[in-house]
Amino acid sequence: MVVLDYGSGNLRSAQKALEAVGAQTTVTADFASALNSDGLLIPGVGAFDACMRGLRQVRADVLVDRRVAGGRAVMGICVGHQVMFQTGVEHGVITSGLGQWPGIVEELHAPVLPHMGWNTLDAPQDSELFAGLHDQRFYFVHSYAVTTWELGQLDPNRTAPKVTWSEHGQRFVAAVENGPLVTTQFHPEKSGDAGLALLRTWVQSL
């Protein structure tokens, strides 16, 4: 298991959480190690634009494309979830994301920002990631999110992505399960027993 080091924070807490659920984990920026690992975790804190600069420096755009195309597991957390979408807009700065899904990451319309604290989720009943966790709360720290899911069922022979929602001022995408690519806007590594249970489910699926 690799936690991708591209200059973002929160790497060690993600590593510790994965190790707590039984994964042997390395924090590295090495392309070959990240490409060939059983699972790749991309955390992220801070600005979308800064995270994308760091990701491109370690060729994460190529890395994610190759892993997803090969059916190899990738998980993104917080800004690591946001960068999987097409575009991020922060303070008037428009930045291209990794483009795994269409959608724009924008500031939430809410009375208080950032959205910080525990919140409930609206997950699909057939979600594998949230199996047994539908009544749990998870920990969020963010001001930006995707509020419109734009990818429909394009191929009837393929399973549509499973999209989980939450709400802070308005509904936003809180998690996506799309084959080998799984992402969460919240921080499972900071979400207590529920977060560890979610990470354990992901690790055991590899």
Of 144, 141, 51, give the one whose Cα is nearest residue 96: 51
User: Among this protein's residues, is 168 annotated catalytic?
Assistant: no
Of 41, 38, 29, give the one whose Cα is nearest residue 3: 41
User: Among this protein's residues, is 51 annotated catalytic?
Assistant: no
Of 167, 164, 166, give the one whose Cα is nearest residue 177: 164
Cα 158 versus chain centre, distance: 21
- How many Cβ atoms from other residues are within 10 Å of residue 87's Cβ? 17
Task: Tell me phi and psi for residue 157, to 5 degrees.
Answer: -90, 0
Choose the catalytic residue: 78, 81, 115, 177.
Answer: 78
Choose the catalytic residue: 81, 115, 142, 187.
Answer: 187
Sign of CA dihedral 189, 83, 85, 67: negative
Contact at 8 Å (CB) between 89 and 49?
no
Contact at 8 Å (CB) between 108 and 147?
yes
Question: Which residues have a catalytic role annotated?
Answer: 78, 187, 189
